[in-house]
Amino acid sequence: MTGFTASLAAFAAGPITTTLQTRVVTSLSVLDWISVGRAGVGEPVSRAVRDLILGETGAEQAQLFGGGAAPLRGAALVNGTVSHALDYDDTHFAHIGHPSVAVLPAALAASEWDDRILVDFLEAALVGMETSIRIGLWLGRDHYQAGFHQTATSGAFGAAVAAGRILGFDAVQMQKVLGLTATRAAGLKAQFGTMGKPYNAGMAASAGVEAALLVAGGFDPNADALEGTYGFGATHNGQADAVAALDGLGEDWLFESVSHKFHACCHGLHAALEAARDLDIAEPEVAEIKVKTHPRWMSVCNQMSPTTGLGAKFSYRTVIAMQALGYDTALPASYMEKVCADPRLKSLRDRVSVEADETLSETQAHLTLLRRDGARLEATHDLLAPMTLSEREDRVRGKAAKLIGNDAADAIWSMLRTGGRARDLSKMLAR
Amino acid sequence: MTGFTASLAAFAAGPITTTLQTRVVTSLSVLDWISVGRAGVGEPVSRAVRDLILGETGAEQAQLFGGGAAPLRGAALVNGTVSHALDYDDTHFAHIGHPSVAVLPAALAASEWDDRILVDFLEAALVGMETSIRIGLWLGRDHYQAGFHQTATSGAFGAAVAAGRILGFDAVQMQKVLGLTATRAAGLKAQFGTMGKPYNAGMAASAGVEAALLVAGGFDPNADALEGTYGFGATHNGQADAVAALDGLGEDWLFESVSHKFHACCHGLHAALEAARDLDIAEPEVAEIKVKTHPRWMSVCNQMSPTTGLGAKFSYRTVIAMQALGYDTALPASYMEKVCADPRLKSLRDRVSVEADETLSETQAHLTLLRRDGARLEATHDLLAPMTLSEREDRVRGKAAKLIGNDAADAIWSMLRTGGRARDLSKMLAR
Strands of B197-297 (E only): list them: 286-293
Mutate to test the interface with B, among A49, A57, A219 (most CBs of B within 10 A): A219
Structure ipTM: 0.92
A191 touches chain B (CB under 8 A): yes
In this complex, do B222 and A194 lie within 8 Å of one another by their Cβ atoms? Answer: yes
3-class DSSP state for residue B315?
strand
In this complex, do A186 and B185 lie within 8 Å of one another by their Cβ atoms? Answer: yes
Q: How confident is the model at residue A96 (pLDDT cuts 50, 70, 90)?
A: confident
In this complex, do B183 and A182 lie within 8 Å of one another by their Cβ atoms? Answer: no
Q: How confident is the model at residue B256 (pLDDT cuts 50, 70, 90)?
A: very high
Is the per-residue pLDDT at B146 higher than 90? yes
Q: What region does B218 belong to: left with phi over 0, alpha with psi -120 to 50, or beta?
A: left
d(CA B44, CA B41): 8
Query: Closest partner residue to B191 among A51, A200, A225, by Cβ?
Result: A225
d(CA B183, CA B232): 7
Residue B250 one-letter amino acid: G
Question: Which residues have C-beta within 8 Å of that of residue A55, sequence separation ≥ 6?
Answer: B59, B71, B213
What DSSP character marks residue B317? H
Query: Residue A195's closest chain B neighbor by CA?
Result: B221
- Burial status of residue A115 (CB atoms within 10 A of its CB: 0-12, 13-18, 19 or more): exposed
Residues in a beta bridge with A376: A370
d(CA A94, CA A96): 6
Q: Residue A1: its pLDDT value, please?
A: 43
CB B204 within 8 A of CB B185: yes
Is the per-residue pLDDT at B311 higher than 60? yes
Contacts B190 to A, Cβ<8 Å: 182-183, 222, 224-225, 228-232, 235
Query: Closest partner residue to A191 among B149, B190, B222, by Cβ?
Result: B222
Question: Which residues have C-beta within 8 Å of that of residue B93, sequence separation ≥ 6?
Answer: B257, B259, B363, B383, B384
Is the per-residue pLDDT at B319 higher than 80? yes
Cβ-Cβ contacts under 8 Å between A and B: the total is: 183
CB B44 within 8 A of CB B199: no
User: Which candidate, A188, A217, A182, A183, places its Cα nearest to that of A200?
Assistant: A188
d(CA A21, CA A32): 16
Mutate to test the interface with A, among B73, B84, B183 (most CBs of A within 10 A): B183
| A62-63/A69-70 β-pairing | antiparallel
User: Which candidate, B372, B59, B13, places its Cα nearest to that of A58?
Assistant: B59
CB A138 within 8 A of CB A226: no
d(CA A202, CA A209): 11
d(CA A222, CA A177): 9
Q: Residue A3: its pLDDT value, please?
A: 86
**Count of CB atoms situated within 10 Å of the CB of A306:** 18
**Count of CB atoms situated within 10 Å of the CB of B410:** 14
Q: What is the mean pLDDT of residues B112-119?
A: 97
CA distances from A160 to A104, A125, A179, A256 (A): 11, 11, 10, 20
User: Which candidate, A143, A117, A146, A118, places its Cα nearest to that of A132?
Assistant: A143
d(CA A102, CA A95): 13
What is the 3 state secondary structure string of B133-151? Answer: HHHHHHHHHHHHHHCECHH
| Span of A16-30, B97-111, B154-168, B277-291 with lowest mean pLDDT | A16-30
Q: What is the mean pLDDT of residues A402-424?
A: 94
What average pLDDT is seen over chain B? 94
User: Which candidate, A33, A143, A36, A31, places its Cα nearest to that of A95?
Assistant: A143
CA distances from B381 to A138, B282, B387 (A): 48, 18, 12
Q: B4-259+389-427: which CATH topology?
A: 2-methylcitrate dehydratase PrpD (1.10.4100)
User: Which candidate, B354, B325, B356, places its Cα nearest to that of B339?
Assistant: B325
Residues in a beta bridge with B382: B364
d(CA B326, CA B254): 35
Q: Residue A2: its pLDDT value, please?
A: 59
B145 touches chain A (CB under 8 A): no
Q: For chain B, how are helix, strand and coil distributed in percent, rounded to 5? A: 55, 10, 35
Query: Where would I find the H helices in B350-405?
Result: 389-404
3-class DSSP state for residue B290?
strand
Instruction: Give percent of chain A with pLDDT exceeding 90.
Output: 82
In this complex, do A231 and B190 lie within 8 Å of one another by their Cβ atoms? Answer: yes
d(CA A58, CA A72): 10
Residue A426 one-letter amino acid: S
d(CA A431, CA A427): 9
Q: To the nearest whole angstrom, how far is the Cα of A266 from the nearest Cα of chain B?
A: 19
B310 touches chain A (CB under 8 A): no
Is the per-residue pLDDT at A431 higher than 80? no
CB B199 within 8 A of CB B85: no
| A352-356/A286-293 β-pairing | parallel
Q: To the nearest whole angstrom, how far is the Cα of A183 from the nearest Cα of chain B?
A: 5
Q: Residue A428: its pLDDT value, please?
A: 95
In this complex, do A220 and B147 lie within 8 Å of one another by their Cβ atoms? Answer: no
In this complex, do A188 and B225 lie within 8 Å of one another by their Cβ atoms? Answer: yes
In this complex, do B52 and A232 lie within 8 Å of one another by their Cβ atoms? Answer: no
B248 touches chain A (CB under 8 A): no
A224 touches chain B (CB under 8 A): yes
Strands of B214-297 (E only): list them: 286-293
Residues within 8 A of B (CB atoms), A 332-361 only = none
Question: In chain B, which segments carry CATH 3.30.1330.120?
Answer: 267-382
Query: Which tens digit of pLDDT belongs to each residue from A129-156?
Result: 999 999 999 999 999 999 999 999 999 9
In this complex, do A180 and B189 lie within 8 Å of one another by their Cβ atoms? Answer: no
| Span of A105-114, A404-413, B27-36, B407-416 with lowest mean pLDDT | B27-36
B213 touches chain A (CB under 8 A): yes
Mutate to test the interface with B, among A49, A144, A194 (most CBs of B within 10 A): A194
Q: How confident is the model at residue A56 (pLDDT cuts 50, 70, 90)?
A: very high
Is the per-residue pLDDT at B298 higher than 90? yes
Query: Which tens digit of pLDDT belongs to each residue from A310-323?
Result: 899 999 999 999 99
Is the per-residue pLDDT at B360 higher than 90? yes
d(CA A136, CA A151): 9
CA distances from B319 to A264, B271, B282, B340, B342 (A): 65, 12, 13, 10, 13
Burial A31-52 (b: 16+ CB within 10 A, else e): bbbbbbbbbbbebebbbbbbbb
Most confident of A33-37, A99-103, A263-267: A99-103
CB B40 within 8 A of CB B86: yes
What DSSP character marks residue B421? B
In this complex, do B196 and A56 lie within 8 Å of one another by their Cβ atoms? Answer: no
3-class DSSP state for residue B361?
coil
What DSSP character marks residue B336? S
Q: What is the mean pLDDT of residues B83-89?
A: 93
Q: How confident is the model at residue B5 (pLDDT cuts 50, 70, 90)?
A: confident
Query: Which tens digit of pLDDT belongs to each residue from A173-220?
Result: 999 999 999 999 999 999 998 999 999 999 999 999 999 999 999 999
Q: Residue B1: its pLDDT value, please?
A: 43
d(CA A80, CA A35): 13
Q: How confident is the model at residue B431 (pLDDT cuts 50, 70, 90)?
A: low
A225 touches chain B (CB under 8 A): yes
Rg of chain B in Å (alpha carbons):
21
Per CATH, the number for A267-382 is 3.30.1330.120
Q: How confident is the model at residue B306 (pLDDT cuts 50, 70, 90)?
A: very high
Question: In chain B, which segments carry CATH 1.10.4100.10?
Answer: 4-259+389-427
For the four alpha carbons of B210, B212, B214 and B219, in that order, the dihedral sign comes to positive
What DSSP character marks residue B329? T
CB B288 within 8 A of CB B298: no
Query: Which tens digit of pLDDT belongs to each residue from A291-304?
Result: 999 998 998 899 99
d(CA A24, CA A258): 12
Q: How confident is the model at residue B2 (pLDDT cuts 50, 70, 90)?
A: low
Q: At what angle do helices A118-146 and A406-418 cross, to 10 degrees?
A: 110
d(CA A155, CA B147): 21
As a dihedral over the C-alpha atoms of residue A371, residue A375, residue A376, residue A381, rounded to 10 degrees, the angle is -70
Q: How confident is the model at residue B21 (pLDDT cuts 50, 70, 90)?
A: confident
B196 touches chain A (CB under 8 A): yes
Q: Residue A45: its pLDDT value, please?
A: 87
As a dihedral over the C-alpha atoms of residue B195, residue B201, residue B202, residue B208, rounded to 10 degrees, the angle is 160
Instruction: Give percent of chain A with pLDDT exceeding 70.
Output: 99
**Residue A371: alpha-carbon gap to chain centroid:** 37
Q: Residue A267: its pLDDT value, please?
A: 87
A248 touches chain B (CB under 8 A): no
CB A65 within 8 A of CB A78: yes
For the four alpha carbons of A314, A319, A320 and A321, in that order, the dihedral sign comes to positive
